[in-house]
Amino acid sequence: MTDGAPVIQVQDLTRTFGSFVAVDHIRFDVQAGEVFGFLGANGAGKTTAIRMLTGLLVPSGGQARVAGHDVYTASEAIKRSIGYMSQRFSLYEDLTVRENARLYGGIYGLTDDELRDRIGAMLSRLKLEPAADTRVSALPLGWRQKLAFSVALLHRPTIVFLDEPTSGVDPVTRRQFWELIYETARAGTTVLVTTHYMDEAEYCDRISMMVAGRIEALGSPSDLKREFGVRSMDELFVQLARPGAGSPASGSARP
Amino acid sequence: MTAAAAAARASGLVKRFGDTTALQGISFSVAAGEIFGFLGPDGAGKSTLFRILATLIIPSAGTAEVLGRDVVTQHWDIRARVGYMPGRFSLYPDLSVEENLAFFASVFGTTIVREYERIAPIYSQLEPFKSRRAGALSGGMKQKLALCCALVHRPELLLLDEPTTGVDAVSRREFWELLAQLKTTGLTIVVSTPYMDEADRCDRVALIDGGKILATDTPSAIAGSFGRPLLAVKARDRYRALLILRGFPHLHTVFPFGEVLHYSDERKDAAPEQVAAEVADFLQAKGLEGAEVHPIEAGIEDTFMERLA
């Protein structure tokens, strides 16, 4: 990857399932160190797009490069270059904090020395040293989320994908989590994040909004609010995700 | 039941699971016909509480009544009168929309046809897809089907445990509009949510965390109880502004809040305008140009965070 080139480059990326077009010619770039919000209604195609960008699903058409690697020919190299964290699955609850970190770091091929140094530094940064040998199931949810995020960064990925990382977390912990995101981005790691909290969309440098497989809005929150004449990302979401929403019946248009 | 009687009530409710105490002695009263919301994060005890009210588990201590009936001794009576929608999608994914609904109707000795009028506002939205497998519906439509199934036996009270979690912002809005419609029929609705912005859809809310109720009141009264100067700070470099404000001598809390930061001051009785001027000067002195600082009214999320701190 050359300096200055976008770390994610997507051109007309498309994925069909039978006759259903889940992702329809989407285009966007993400720059190094950017916090990029990947938004859209349930079923808009976000998950399919993310599965292609993380090397888990082969596209039906179009081009994409992630951390400089082609999604068609270098999916294994992509997997080594990215970190991934989801609210639904992140850590093994029956393993301790340290065991989880060793497991993930080991999967990414870190040496014993690297594991020791990086896990030590991570525990110290999170002030989790006293809990190093505690089973993850005994940690409060907020701590688990912060730990899962840090573990996803152990192998120093170019990009980290966060899939609804703050879902269900209390409002204070949610904000502490976003500070970790900012710190990570300042340190040069690119962050691609999905969320259902529209206030969190405002925390992103840029966002894309997917509607029925296409990207219908792309830009910084302030630019998009100006462009669409709305006051908040929530209003933008309502306006784009379901035109005419507000009357309950409109929901039936897209089951 | 008389109009003054509570539709649901709990007193000193405790639930222990082994060494964990999920509910630490909570008390509340829900009036007939109101939408009452339990607002709190995962692990707060919301689902445990709903399972007790739905008579699926019994409390370790304390009492609870639903529609004037005791949750331990009169559970059969309660079950016929409440509709319960659990937090996790609990319909049969391999049955169609219509089959799921017909099944729930038959369990309660009725039919879709007989109950059509009651469920029509919601079911009419699902009918175009009535042959579709429930497992193949979108998140928002699954929730509407689950609501339909909870309503099909004409309950007097609905227990909805996190009906909007993981559902997109537009579907959430539509779901709340349905609840407002149902309220007009006189139904009592007890609902839980982790989304603070949904508080305003409720007549009254209880903030719940760590198995305890932190406050119970109308959303506006809870927001109004914040009790210190609160400022919105708008800066181009939000993260830098946040780090600078951490060094302000009178800081109580500062949090990112949508496109701005919310700053609260440790001097409870200071004049907000005065505090705003000081904060603006401080940011400028630390080299942050062009920040806009002005006093604001607290919202429910501000109050929740204040009570957590």
User: What CA–CA distance (Å, rounded) separates B264 from B98?
Assistant: 52
Lowest mean pLDDT among A29-33, A61-65, A177-181: A177-181
A246 pLDDT above the threshold of 90: no
pLDDT digits (tens, 9 = 90+) for B145-179: 999 999 999 999 999 999 998 888 888 999 999 99
Q: Does B177 touch chain A (CB under 8 A)?
A: yes
Percent of chain A exceeding pLDDT 70 equals 93
pLDDT digits (tens, 9 = 90+) for A103-117: 999 999 999 999 999
pLDDT for A98: 96
User: What CA–CA distance (Å, rounded) separates B168 from B170?
Assistant: 6
In 3-state terms, what secondary structure has residue A150?
helix
Q: How far from chain centre, in Å, is Cα B262?
A: 23
- How many beta carbons lie within 10 A of that of residue A29, not counting itself? 16
**Model confidence band, residue B4 (pLDDT cutoffs 50, 70, 90):** low
Q: How far B8 CA sits from the closest chain A CA (Å)? A: 25
* CA nearest to A33, candidates A159, A132, A176: A159
What's the CA angle centered on B45, arms B44 and B51, to 5 degrees?
155
In terms of DSSP bridges, do strands B82-85 and B292-295 run parallel, antiparallel, or are they unpaired?
Answer: unpaired
Q: What is the DSSP string of chain B?
A: --TTSEEEEEEEEEEEETTEEEEEEEEEEEETT-EEEEE--TTSSHHHHHHHHTTSS--SEEEEEETTEETTTSHHHHHHHEEEE-SS--S-TTSBHHHHHHHHHHHTT--HHHHHHHHHHHHHHHGGGTTSBGGGS-HHHHHHHHHHHHHTT--SEEEESSTTTT--HHHHHHHHHHHHHHHTTT-EEEEEES-GGGGGGSSEEEEEETTEEEEEE-HHHHHHT--S-EEEEE-SSHHHHHHHHTT-TTEEEEEEETTEEEEEES-TTS-HHHHHHHHHHHHHHTT-TT-EEEE----HHHHHHHHH-
Please, what CATH class does the domain formed by B226-308 belong to?
A: alpha beta
User: What CA–CA distance (Å, rounded) separates A85 from B89?
Assistant: 23
A255 pLDDT above the threshold of 50: no
Q: How far A3 CA sits from the closest chain B CA (Å)? A: 24
Q: Does B303 touch chain A (CB under 8 A)?
A: no
B257/A168 CB distance under 8 A: no
The CATH architecture to which B6-220 belongs is 3-Layer(aba) Sandwich (3.40)
Dmax of chain B from CA atoms? Answer: 73
Residue A59 lies in a domain: no
Residue A244 lies in a domain: no
Q: Report the number of distinct structural domains present in chain A.
A: 1
* CA nearest to B282, candidates B245, B307, B229: B245
pLDDT for A87: 74
B137 phi and psi angles, rounded to 5 deg: -80, 160
What's the CA angle centered on A208, arms A206 and A214, to 5 degrees?
160
Residue A145 lies in a domain: yes
CB B306 within 8 A of CB B226: yes
Domain hosting residue A139, numbered range: 92-156
pLDDT digits (tens, 9 = 90+) for B13-70: 999 999 999 999 999 999 999 999 999 998 899 999 999 999 999 999 999 999 999 9
The pTM assigned to this predicted structure is 0.86
pLDDT for A199: 87
Nearest CA in chain B to A140: B43
A248 pLDDT above the threshold of 50: no
pLDDT digits (tens, 9 = 90+) for B207-229: 999 999 999 999 999 999 999 99
A249 pLDDT above the threshold of 80: no
* CA nearest to A35, candidates A162, A191, A170, A187: A191
Q: Which comes out higher in pLDDT, residue A211 or A2?
A: A211
pLDDT digits (tens, 9 = 90+) for B227-272: 999 999 999 888 899 999 999 999 999 999 988 999 999 999 999 9
Domain spans of chain B, in order of start: 6-220, 226-308
A202/B259 CB distance under 8 A: yes
In terms of DSSP bridges, do strands A61-66 and A8-17 run parallel, antiparallel, or are they unpaired?
Answer: antiparallel
B5 pLDDT above the threshold of 80: no
CB A100 within 8 A of CB A134: no
**Model confidence band, residue A89 (pLDDT cutoffs 50, 70, 90):** low
Q: Does B181 touch chain A (CB under 8 A)?
A: yes
- Give the residue numbers in A contacting B (CB under 8 Å), as ranges: 40-43, 140-141, 164, 167-173, 175, 178-179, 182, 186, 196-199, 202-203, 221-222, 232-234, 237-238, 241-242, 245-246, 248-252, 254-255
B1 pLDDT above the threshold of 50: no
* CA nearest to B255, candidates B272, B230, B273: B230
What is the ipTM, given to two decimal places? 0.81
A24 pLDDT above the threshold of 90: yes
pLDDT for A243: 60
B78 pLDDT above the threshold of 90: yes
Q: What part of B 193-252 touches A (C-beta under 8 Å)?
A: 194-197, 209, 238-239, 242
Indicate which of A167, A172, A184 best probes the interface with B, i.e. most B CBs within 10 Å of its own CB.
Answer: A172
Q: Does B170 touch chain A (CB under 8 A)?
A: yes
pLDDT digits (tens, 9 = 90+) for A43-71: 889 999 999 999 999 999 999 999 999 99
